Chain A
Amino acid sequence: MAADARRPDPLKSGIEFSGAEVRALQQDDFSSPAMLWVTRGEKLWSEPAGKSEKSCASCHQDARASMKGVSAKYPKVDPGTAKLTNIEGRINQCRTQHQQAAPLRYDSDELLGLTAYVGLQSRGMPVNVAIDTQNRSNFERGRDMFYTRMGQMNLACTHCHDRNFGRKLLNDTISQGHGNPYPVYRLEWQTMGSLHRRLRACFFGVRAELPPAGSPDLLDLELFLAWRSQGLTVETPGVRK
Chain B
Amino acid sequence: MSIAKISVPSQARRGELVEIRIAIQHPMETGFRMDNMGKVIPKNTVSNLLCRYNGADVFRAEMGSGIAANPYLQFYIVAQDSGDVAFSWVDDRGEKGSASSKITVVV
Direct contact of A and B (CB under 8 A): yes
Whether A40 contacts B3 in the complex (CB less than 8 A), given A33-B70, A190-B69, comes out as yes
How many interface residues does chain B have, given as a range?
10 to 19
Tell me, yes or no, whether B25 is within 8 Å of chain A by CB: yes
How many interface residues does chain A have, given as a range?
10 to 19
Query: Are B68 and A30 closer than 8 Å at their CB atoms?
Result: no
Q: How long is the Cα–Cα vector from A31 to B74 in the complex, in angstroms?
A: 9
Tell me, yes or no, whether A22 is within 8 Å of chain B by CB: no
B20 CB, min distance to chain A CBs, angstroms: 11
Chain B, range 15-64, C-beta contacts under 8 Å to A? 21, 23-25, 27-28
Whether A191 contacts B3 in the complex (CB less than 8 A), given A30-B21, A31-B72, comes out as no
Query: Are A36 and B25 closer than 8 Å at their CB atoms?
Result: yes
A interface secondary structure, majority: helix
Query: Are B7 and A39 closer than 8 Å at their CB atoms?
Result: no
Query: Are A36 and B68 closer than 8 Å at their CB atoms?
Result: no
Contacts of B93 in A (CB 8 A): none
A162 CB, min distance to chain B CBs, angstroms: 33
Chain A, range 27-69, C-beta contacts under 8 Å to B? 30-31, 33, 35-37, 39-40, 43
Whether A40 contacts B72 in the complex (CB less than 8 A), given A30-B5, A30-B7, A35-B5, comes out as no
Query: Are A39 and B68 closer than 8 Å at their CB atoms?
Result: no
Q: How long is the Cα–Cα vector from A109 to B27 in the complex, in angstroms?
A: 12
Contact check: which of B4, B27, B74 meets A190 at CB < 8 Å?
B27
